[in-house]
Amino acid sequence: MKLEFPQTPTDLTRKMAKALGAFQTYISTKEEFVLNFGERRRNGKMIGSEFAESNMNYLFSKKMVKNIS
């Protein structure tokens, strides 16, 4: 992606350019760890933490009911 900035950069454009550069560096160094969610879904693999979260909610509600009774 090529970004164009004004001829005379302002403090805001300098700050934005620095942030975008840092973000680009971060993403490019982590690229191998980024999951392909479409591929995971097509292969029937989990793409989120819904399973763990729902289990924690279930266990928590069971514990609360047990303590109240």
Q: Does residue 24 lie in a domain region? A: no
- Decide: pTM greater than 0.75: no
Q: What is the mean pLDDT of each run of 10 residues along the chain (69 residues)?
A: 75 91 94 87 82 85 70
Q: Does residue 9 lie in a domain region? A: no
Q: Does residue 5 lie in a domain region? A: no
> Under a CB-based contact definition with an 8 Å cutoff, are residues 48 and 41 in contact?
no
Q: Does residue 67 lie in a domain region? A: yes
Domain, as residue range, for 51: 30-69
Q: How far is CA 20 from CA 15, 16, 26, 30, 38, in A?
A: 9, 6, 10, 15, 26
Q: Does residue 55 lie in a domain region? A: yes
Q: How many domains does the chain have?
A: 1
